[in-house]
Amino acid sequence: MGKIDVLRKEIDKIDDKVLELLSKRGNIAQKIGEEKLKAKLHNFHSPSRELKIFQRLSKRNQGPYPDSAIQGIFREIFSATLLLEKPLRVGFLGPEATFTHLAAQKKFGKFAQFAPYRSIADIFSEVEKGNVDYGVVPMENSVEGVVGYTLDLLVDSPLNIIAEIPLPVSLHFLTSHGDPSRIKKIFSHPHAIAQCRMWIAKNFPQADVENAESTAAAAQIAREDESVGALANEIAAEMYGLKVTGRSIQDLSHSMTRFVAISRKGVEKSGRDKTSVVFSVQDKPGALVKCLKILSRDNINMTKIESRPVKKRAWEYIFFVDLDGHAGAEVMKKALGEIEKFCTFFKVLGSYPKEI
């Protein structure tokens, strides 16, 4: 027996032990689920608990796997374990193979029950009705900024942001045949088109560029029409049988999209949280400055501020702000209460664990 065979037998023994431990973990998880049912608790999934586990494992990790790999492995363990307790139902902007679908899988693992919806509004509606436990929607892009429609819905909805999901955006040019000379039209989601403007102008200056409901919907159109090229991800190419005719064509290589998960219930403090708020200040000199001074006074770090017009009133704006900390913490609660006094509208969109 050679050295490789000996080493492989060692791996087999380790795999057997890992399987044994996974089974023990699953059995304990089932007991926890039974106790939750007895106590009439319905929080089978806890984002803050997951973050604490990731943090603990990262501190204990001595390699050779990087922390990101360990998190990916345990994300699927969490997902499979929840399948034993109560399968998670997650709505996303469909069809399958959209970036929103990938973000949902990244957050909840591949063992969750995923339901595609045609619009962001449909996702909000289904979560509000309780037909799905969570919804995953795009929140902002590092190039194009906030997704206004999502923010508008959050302002009017009773739902809470319970998680953020940053996802690198790598866009490919997909065709049914691999021959760029046959392309007359290019389809994709407006944000994807915006991220590839220079590439399109250079390579297809004469092509008609048209919007699709999603990048995956664009891939479906390209599958049916040989004159159409689609801007989408590689998973869409595999799912719809398309050829990658141009790879990583986005104008900026570091483009990221931040997705959020929404739910009817908020999440408890994890110790490493972010709070998103939206407000409109009184039409008085220095009103916004007074709000910002309160944050500075209490040493609350503001990681983002962006303004957006109020649809119902001309020349008025709402501010979308991200803050370090949980809205339930005493310092944050006091500061937000003071800020609200200077506002004509104020709402906490949610407090949730920071993505690590």
Residue 98 C-beta-side C-alpha neighbours within 13 Å = 31
Instruction: State what percent of residues in the chain have pLDDT above 90.
Output: 59
pLDDT above 70 (res 46):
yes
Average pLDDT over all residues of the chain: 90
Which tens digit of pLDDT belongs to each residue from 205-226? 999 999 998 899 999 999 999 9
Higher pLDDT: 283 or 296? It is 296
CATH 3.40.190.10 domain span(s) along the chain: 89-169+256-263, 172-246
Q: Evaluate whether 116 touches 105 at the Cβ level (below 8 Å).
A: no
| CATH entry 3.40.190.10 includes domain 172-246 | yes
Please, where are the H alpha helices in 39-119?
47-60, 67-85, 99-108
- List CB contacts of 21: < 8 A, sequence separation 6 or more: none
Cβ contact 327:275 at 8 Å? yes
Structure tokens at 197: 């403007």
Task: Find the mean pLDDT for residues 264-270.
Answer: 89
Indicate where the chain has its CATH 1.20.59.10 domain(s).
3-85
Strand 317-324 vs strand 302-309: parallel, antiparallel, or unpaired? antiparallel
Which of 35-49, 137-151, 312-326 bottoms out in mean pLDDT, i.e. has the lowest? 35-49
Looking at domain 89-169+256-263, what is its CATH homologous superfamily?
Periplasmic binding protein-like II (3.40.190.10)
**What is d(CA 56, CA 46) in angstroms, rounded to the nearest whole number?**
16
The structure tokens listed for 81 are 């374990």
Q: What is the mean pLDDT of residues 58-64?
A: 91
Phi, psi of 313 (to 5 degrees): -140, 125
DSSP run (H or E) holding 165: strand 160-168
State how far the Cα of 268 lies from the Cα of 346, in Å rounded to an integer. Answer: 21
All CATH 3.30.70.260 domain ranges in the chain, comma separated = 273-353
Query: What DSSP element (H or E) covers 281?
Result: strand 273-281
- Does domain 3-85 fall under CATH 2.60.40.10? My reply is no
Structure tokens at 116: 């595609």
**Res. 298: pLDDT tops 90:** yes
The Cα–Cα gap between 277 and 347 comes to 6
Query: 356: pLDDT confidence band, cut at 50, 70 and 90?
Result: low
What are 37's two structure tokens?
């049912």
CA distance 168 to 250: 11
Q: Look at residues 283, 300, 284, 286 and name the one whose alpha carbon lies nearest to residue 337.
A: 300
Question: 156 near 121, Cβ under 8 Å?
Answer: no
From CA 64, how far away is CA 58, in angstroms rounded?
A: 12
The pLDDT score that the predictor gives to residue 44 is 66
> Which residues, 6 or more positions from 15, have their beta carbon under 8 angstroms from its beta carbon?
none
Does residue 174 register a pLDDT over 90? yes
CATH among 3.40.50.620, 3.40.50.300, 3.30.70.260, 3.40.50.2300 for 273-353 = 3.30.70.260
Question: Residue 225: CA atoms inside 13 Å, Cβ hemisphere, count?
Answer: 15
Instruction: Please give the average per-residue pLDDT across 221-250, as a whole number.
Output: 94
Handedness of CA 83, 167, 262, 57 (dihedral sign): positive
pLDDT tens for 119-171 read: 899 999 999 999 999 999 999 877 667 788 898 899 999 999 999 999 988 89
Q: Which residues of 250-289 are buried (b: 16+ CB within 10 A; e: fewer)?
A: beeeebebbbbbbbeebbeebebbbbbbbbbbeeeeeebe
